[in-house]
């Protein structure tokens, strides 16, 4: 899940900081600086309004109209290069921006992209602090998870520059678009399988939390399905998807 505004409770948009124990803190700081430079022209009230605006749009996008949005996604001229370059959630973010133009506001989508990038960093910092406090992760896992968040934040921040946005290409063949979407289909199907499994077991007290449900489901999968997701990422992959699905 690319967005959760609650992470700004402990990491402010304009004043949140990393520390030297955060993996790749220097890279994170560069993303923070670039994002805040984009927001420099906005007042604190405008930034808060942008946060609330996107939170509402994000909730609506993944709400009852989600399948309609996914139908619209099939009409978007996403190229194979888009899928190779961007995280699937960034492609969804592009669809959100297509579906919800920002008009007559003191902020625009570039400002919101910068805020989202900061939100990804906020989540990375918050989760890393938690992992350090309870010693639940090895340094190798912490480094891996931090690097994934940094890559995602960088991708989002790249959208601030209009020239960096993937251009549509009406000459792209239907077969090529299908091939691009098929690249992520197995993982999308696995998410749906988890949603169905969760619904069947939710009232049977077979797990006490979404995290535990994700772990149990992952362990129950045959090897060829487990291989679709790195074990160190599995819990977050399924819990993020479930939170977005249940919103």
Q: Are residues 162 and 195 in the same domain?
A: no
Q: Are residues 233 and 166 in the same domain?
A: no
Q: What is the mean pLDDT of each run of 10 residues along the chain (247 residues)?
A: 88 94 93 96 97 92 58 48 64 82 94 97 91 78 86 91 50 40 67 88 78 89 83 79 74
Q: State pTM to two decimals.
A: 0.66
Q: Are residues 227 and 157 in the same domain?
A: no
**pLDDT the model gives residue 236:** 78
Q: Are residues 45 and 129 in the same domain?
A: yes
177 lies in some domain: no
Q: Are residues 166 and 199 in the same domain?
A: no
How many Å apart are CA 5 and CA 3, to the nearest integer?
6
Q: Which residues fall within 8 angstroms of residue 168, CB to CB, at 6 or more apart? A: 76, 77, 78
Q: Which residues fall within 8 angstroms of residue 226, CB to CB, at 6 or more apart? A: 218, 234
How many Å apart are CA 19 and CA 26, to the nearest integer?
9
Q: Are residues 235 and 140 in the same domain?
A: no
For residue 90, the enclosing domain spans: 5-172
Q: Are residues 27 and 69 in the same domain?
A: yes
């Amino acid at each position: 899940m690319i967005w959760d505004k609650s992470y700004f409770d402990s990491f402010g948009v304009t004043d949140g900081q990393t520390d030297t124990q955060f993996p790749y803190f220097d890279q994170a700081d560069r993303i923070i600086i670039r994002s805040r430079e984009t927001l420099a022209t906005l007042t604190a009230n405008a930034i808060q309004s942008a946060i609330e605006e996107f939170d509402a749009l994000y909730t609506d996008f993944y709400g009852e109209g989600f399948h309609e949005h996914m139908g619209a996604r099939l009409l978007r001229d996403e190229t194979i290069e888009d899928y190779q370059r961007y995280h699937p959630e960034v492609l969804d973010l592009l669809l959100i921006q297509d579906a919800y133009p920002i008009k007559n506001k003191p902020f625009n989508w570039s400002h919101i992209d910068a805020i989202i990038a900061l939100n990804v960093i906020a989540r990375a910092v918050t989760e890393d602090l938690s992992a350090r406090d309870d010693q639940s992760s090895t340094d190798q896992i912490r480094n891996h998870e931090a690097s994934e968040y940094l890559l995602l934040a960088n991708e989002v921040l790249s959208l601030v520059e209009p020239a960096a946005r993937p251009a549509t290409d009406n000459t792209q063949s239907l077969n090529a678009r299908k091939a691009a979407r098929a690249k992520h289909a197995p993982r999308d199907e696995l998410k749906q399988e988890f949603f169905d499994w969760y619904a069947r077991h939710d009232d049977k007290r077979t797990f006490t939390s979404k995290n535990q449900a994700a772990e149990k489901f992952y362990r129950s999968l045959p090897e060829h399905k487990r291989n679709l997701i790195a074990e160190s990422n599995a819990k977050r992959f399924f819990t993020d998807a479930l939170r977005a699905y249940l919103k």
